[in-house]
Amino acid sequence: MILLVHTAVRPPGPTWAVNALQVTLLVLVAAGAAAVVTMRDPVRQAVILSLYGVVLAVLFFSVQAPDVALSEITVGTVALPLLILLTLAKVRGGQD
Amino acid sequence: MTPLVRRRVFTVGIAGLLAFYGWGLSGLPAFGDYRGPYGFLVDALAIHQTHATGIVSAVNFFYRGFDTLGEEFILFIAATGVATVLRELRGEHDREENDLAEGRAATLTSDAVRMSALVFVGPVLVMGWFLTTHAQTDPSGGFQGGVVMATAVILVYLGGQFLVFERLSPIDVADAAEAVGAGGFVLVGLGALMAGAAYLADFLPLGSPAGAVDASGTIALISFFVGVEVAMAFVLIANELLEQTIVVRKGSR
């Protein structure tokens, strides 16, 4: 029965190709990743990381993965930069 | 090692890496080409089996619910670890916040920041609640919704209201709620055992029609518990870090 379902629902042939929006977003993601890595100041790095998360989320959305996009926004744009900023504040608080 | 030797070693290394990387890429399926079969099977079966139209949630909370349970406990343990490591030790005291320049009080949060942070609290909270309670119908889920709800609480802090923030999330209550969220997931699984099904099986009435908010049985319930757990875990982690970092600003309203 399962094999029947399998053959019944599989779309025929190759599905789709990359469109212009996705190419643009892929380039932006590559540029954003480079920006995150090359930024030396950790505070600015955290903010750029947050923006990079937004671009990545839009890319996921453009390839029809809204769930992954949402997870990327919550983890990459909110949670991770927030934890980094809080940790930096804690570390620097001791030095001042 | 001289710079010249180092550069040569690097050149050989990068050439080898690029060669193998290119070789690996050439064997990949085309972009967007999915060969199945599991995705197609789930696409075809999930709506009838679970009455959930949020197929990703159906996979997360039903088909691979046991894996998700493990992932949820990763966050639970992380929050517990942070709370343990950052607990207030004997001899640690809160100190007044001061400007770097001597004899100058710390600046207050500006009205613009305070206003824009507080304006977003309500909408963000509603958004988080929507995401948490609509895992079964839309692309969303307890994990995303939980983080968004926690963001609302953190916005209150950004608005310069640390005292309110502390009052909103007293550690004991947040601790208990987090435990309820994590335990709720486990209990839903045990409920299925009681009903004579496999652990984490969807034993509740599925409801109809498929795609209704109250349909899908345990998927909606588990998503809700996950939302509570995640929101409280993030509030706890933020609270612990903030307590370590920021000292209450006396002048803030």
Residue B10 is assigned to a structural domain of this protein: no
Minimal Cα–Cα distance from B170 to chain A, Å? 19
**Looking at chain A, which residue has its C-alpha nearest residue B97?**
A93
Cβ–Cβ < 8 Å for B202, B217: yes
Domain count within chain B: 1
pLDDT for B97 equals 55
Q: Which two tokens stand for residue B140?
A: 């969303």
Q: What is the pTM of this model?
A: 0.78
Instruction: Give me the interface pTM, i.e. the ipTM.
Output: 0.75
Residue range B199-246, pLDDT digits in tens = 888 777 777 777 777 778 888 888 899 999 999 998 888 888 777 665
Q: Quote the mean pLDDT of chain B.
A: 82
Residue range B98-157, pLDDT digits in tens = 556 666 666 677 888 888 888 999 999 999 999 998 888 888 888 899 999 999 988 888
3-state secondary structure of B56: helix
Chain B residues touching chain A at CB-CB below 8 Å:
30-34, 36-37, 40-41, 43-45, 54, 56-57, 100, 131, 139-141, 143-144, 147-148, 151, 154, 234, 237-238, 241-242, 244-246
- The fraction of chain B above a pLDDT of 90, given in percent, is 19
Q: Is B137 exposed, middle or buried (0-12, 13-18, 19+ CB in 10 A)?
A: buried
Q: Which of B31, B75, B151, B219 to mutate to test the interface with A (most CBs of A within 10 A)?
A: B31
What residues in chain A have per-residue pLDDT under 70?
1-17, 93-96
Look at B30 and A78 and tell me if their CB atoms are within 8 Å.
no
> How far is residue B124's CA from residue A94's CA, in Å, rounded to a whole number?
33
Residue B215 is assigned to a structural domain of this protein: yes
What is the mean predicted confidence (pLDDT) over B51-76? 88
Minimal Cα–Cα distance from B141 to chain A, Å? 8
Residue B42 is assigned to a structural domain of this protein: no
Cβ–Cβ < 8 Å for B196, B116: no
Closest CB to B245 among A2, A73, A90: A90
Q: Worst-scoring range by mean pLDDT, A55-64, B15-24, B73-82, B203-212?
A: B203-212
Looking at mean pLDDT, say which of A63-77, B29-43, B95-109, B170-184 comes out highest: A63-77
Residue B33 is assigned to a structural domain of this protein: no
Higher pLDDT, residue A78 or B248: A78
- In chain A, which residues have their Cβ closer than 8 Å to the Cβ of B30? 14
pLDDT for B107 equals 67
Cβ–Cβ < 8 Å for B216, B58: yes
Cβ–Cβ < 8 Å for B225, B181: yes
pLDDT for B248 equals 44
**Looking at chain A, which residue has its C-alpha nearest residue B239?**
A86
How many angstroms separate the Cα of A90 from the Cα of each of B168, B175, B251? 22, 22, 21
Rg for chain B, CA atoms, rounded = 25
Residue B175 is assigned to a structural domain of this protein: yes
pLDDT for B11 equals 95
Domain carrying residue B194: 53-88+109-245
Q: Which of A2, A6, A7, A9 to mutate to test the interface with B (most CBs of B within 10 A)?
A: A9
Rg for chain A, CA atoms, rounded = 19
Residue B35 is assigned to a structural domain of this protein: no
pLDDT for B211 equals 72
pLDDT for A12 equals 57
